[in-house]
Structure 1
Amino acid sequence: MRNSIFSIIVLAVILSGCRHEKANVLSTADVTFTKEATGYLIKKTTKDTIQLLDLEIADTEYDVQTGLMYRTSMKNNQAMLFVFEAEQELAFYMKNTQIPLDIIYLNADGAIVSFVENAKPMDETLLPSEAPAQYTLEINAGLAEKWGLDLGDVLVWE
């Protein structure tokens, strides 16, 4: 009997020490869009404005490396503009990017030299420019087609 009581007490101590407590869950704040410039997509042939855009600028090493990673949404009038020091062959990928994008490569004059439509979220496949580019514009997937963007159309910003 004494052994039974001792066993029950030991079991109770062990079980109370092994209680399952709800783990503290760390949450991260949503990364929000910060307007830093206004951009105008302009049709090469007619010089008409295709679309007015609020631009977030990625011009530091950190901003370029992070881009639109960890974002869960972006409005259709918002875009991220990546700025590089000179024209060069560029390639982007969608690592940690949760929203599908159109990736538009622009030369030093802001003219579209190539684009990748409907880049898949979270895909690490390199998506290269087809010509040297100094800027890259990322917009929501499907907008390049919807807006009728063509090679030679221009982005100007202020």
Structure 2
Amino acid sequence: MQLHLKCILIASLYVAGCHQSNTSNNSNAVETNTSSNTGTTTEAATVTSNGTTFKKQGTLAFLGKSGADTLRKIDIQLAQTDEQRADGLMYRKSMTDDQGMLFIFPDMEERAFWMKNTYISLDIIYIADNMEIVSIQKYATPLSEESLPSYKKAKYVLEVNGGFCDKYHVAYGDKIAYQQ
């Protein structure tokens, strides 16, 4: 039994050492590519002790069910590639109420997100291709690997601070409008 525990300990230390050397090599900058109608650009996101810093890549407005009332406007960072969507808001230690991350998928599918390596509580807002909010997972637990499904098909997913939807009265049936 003791030999088994020693093997596990040695393997854990090896993995931790490998992760630490990878992290130290990549601690200064993370490169991301974004596409726009004018071509491809490369932007650098600085990694700080507080996690990856926010990069404003557009603005988003929440519109009431009637479409006439603007409930709130925020700055957004976009997650358009598989890599950007996989990273999401992982390792961020904070975000302001006027910031969020908009995940853009190529198709309408039922989605499910989790909070692995995500240190801040989030409201996860699932949005259809017609820009209507189809479901919301509120106050997602940081670092949880529990699946948080959309229950309906969504093309967009927006992550904002936990409690945002309650604070600004954002609800199912409301719409969004965004621009890059």
The TM-score normalised by the length of structure 1 is: 0.81
- Which deviates further from its counterpart, 42-51 or 101-110? 42-51
For 1:18-29, list aligned pairs within 5 A: 26=24, 28=27, 29=47
Q: Deviations over 1:70-90 (max 9, x none)?
A: 101001000000000111000
For 1:2-17, list aligned pairs within 5 A: none
Aligned residues with identical type, % of pairs: 40
- Give the match for residue 141 of structure 1: 162
Distance in 2, Cα, partners of 1:68 & 1:110: 22
Unaligned runs of at least 5 residues, structure 1: 1-25
Query: More strand per residue: 1 or 2?
Result: 2
What is the CA distance between 1:152 and its match in structure 2? 1.2
- Give the match for residue 74 of structure 1: 95
Distance in 1, Cα, partners of 2:74 & 2:170: 14
- Give the match for residue 63 of structure 1: 84
- Give the match for residue 8 of structure 1: none
Distance in 2, Cα, partners of 1:154 & 1:47: 10
- Give the match for residue 119 of structure 2: 98
| Residue 45 of structure 1 pairs with residue 69 of structure 2 | no
Q: Deviations over 1:88-118 (max 9, x none)?
A: 0000000000000000000001110001000
What is the CA distance between 1:120 and its match in structure 2? 0.5
- List, as ranges, runs of 4+ consecutive aligned residues in structure 1 with deviation greater than 4 Å: none
**Pairing partner for 1:127 from 148, 151, 155:** 148
What is the CA distance between 1:45 and its match in structure 2? 2.7
RMSD: 1.7
- Give the match for residue 178 of structure 2: 157
Question: What secondary structure, in the 3-state scheme, does the structure 2 residue paired with 1:132 have?
Answer: strand
Question: What secondary structure, in the 3-state scheme, does the structure 1 residue paired with 2:94 have?
Answer: coil
Question: What secondary structure, in the 3-state scheme, does the structure 1 residue paired with 2:84 have?
Answer: helix
Number of residue pairs matched by the alignment: 135
What is the CA distance between 1:46 and its match in structure 2? 5.6
Contact persistence 2:102–2:159 (CA under 8 A) = yes
Larger Rg: 1
Q: Which residue type is aligned with residue 116 of structure 1?
A: Q
Unaligned runs of at least 5 residues, structure 2: 1-23, 28-46
- Give the match for residue 115 of structure 1: 136
Distance in 2, Cα, partners of 1:97 & 1:50: 27
Question: What secondary structure, in the 3-state scheme, does the structure 2 residue paired with 1:121 have?
Answer: coil
Distance in 1, Cα, partners of 2:122 & 2:112: 14
Q: Deviations over 1:9-54 (max 9, x none)?
A: xxxxxxxxxxxxxxxxx59432100000111000013621101110
Q: Which has the higher contact order (CA 8 A, sep 6+)?
A: 1
